[in-house]
Amino acid sequence: MVRNIKLVIAYDGTNYHGWQTQLNNVTIQEAIENAINIITKEKTCLTGSGRTDKGVHALGQVANFVTETKIETGKIKLALNANLPKDIRVLSSEEVPLNFNSRFDAHNKTYMYQIYNDKINSPFYDRYTYFIPSQLDYEKMDKASTFLVGTHDFKGFMSAGSEVKTTIRTIYTTKLIKEDKIIRLYINGSGFLYNMVRIIAGTLIDIGKGTKEISCIQEALEIKDRTILGHTAKPEGLFLKEVDYS
């Protein structure tokens, strides 16, 4: 009997060239597909909710695959984890309808970006934050982030090299939280363009430094010009937090 299995996955992206399988590069998708092939004895194609770039992490990536394995659904995650490197963990495995597609059925996604703001970096956060030694104006960054909320043409918030049918996206919420030396940006939206969250994070950092004005976000939304915005923040601070299907 054919079954469709949905996985929720967490991973440290430091040692991988992103999610999507690539020739001559180690990727998250490839590692999980290899583990699936081992436990099911089948050649399987894993569909992810979206791609994450080299060095980007995930707390709740979602993927699905079709299989004829008779392994009990709840035990699939245990079998996969036994065949995966320690920096990739399957958090849950469940059977879903055959027509479920983790990419096309996603309603919205939440990303988290972490900034370590202190004069000296921490060896414990180096792989998971963007170290910024300059003093940041948290209140200005927080105010600037609110201008992103709504349905806009985010063409100016996209790196070159992406082919998409439309650059219109909806941002539902943004939230900045400061906890001691760490600033976390949470952003939830219908979808995101190539490097969009990292461009937003880099721009907010530049606004916090005072090298960019808050108005640059509104200008970029109107003029759709990437050069108006700040730099693209490093991948280490970016996490795919969760994908919502409800």
116 assigned binding-site residue: no
Count of residues making up the chain? 246
**Cα 164 from Cα 25, distance rounded (Å):** 24
Model pLDDT for residues 221-241, shown as the tens digit of each residue: 999 999 999 999 999 999 999
pLDDT at 10: 98
Tell me if 3-96 shares its fold with 108-244. Answer: yes
Model pLDDT for residues 172-214, shown as the tens digit of each residue: 999 999 999 999 999 999 999 999 999 999 999 999 999 999 9
**Cα 20 from Cα 1, distance rounded (Å):** 28
Asked if 235 and 128 count as a contact pair (C-beta separation under 8 A), the reply is no
Catalytic residue IDs: 53
pLDDT, mean of residues 148-153: 97
Looking at every residue in the chain, the average pLDDT score rounds to 96
Q: What is the pTM of this model?
A: 0.95
Q: Residue 94 above 80 pLDDT?
A: yes
Element housing 161 (H / E)? none
Q: Residue 164 above 90 pLDDT?
A: no
Task: Specify which residues 217 forms β-bridges with.
Answer: none
**Cα 125 from Cα 108, distance rounded (Å):** 28
Question: How do the domains of the chain map onto residue ranges?
Answer: 3-96, 108-244
- Annotation: CATH topology of 108-244: Alpha-Beta Plaits (3.30.70)
The number of CA neighbours under 13 Å toward the Cβ of 120 is 3
Q: At what angle do helices 73-81 and 28-40 cross, to 10 degrees?
A: 120
pLDDT at 23: 86
The total of other beta-carbon atoms located within 10 Å of residue 237's CB is: 30
Structure tokens at 188: 């939830």
DSSP assignment, residue 227?
G
Task: Specify which residues 48 forms β-bridges with.
Answer: 63
**Percent share of the chain, pLDDT over 70:** 100
Q: What CATH number does domain 3-96 carry, 3.40.50.850, 3.40.190.10, 2.40.50.140, 3.30.70.580? A: 3.30.70.580
pLDDT at 207: 98
Model pLDDT for residues 70-86, shown as the tens digit of each residue: 999 999 999 999 999 99
**Percent share of the chain, pLDDT over 90:** 95
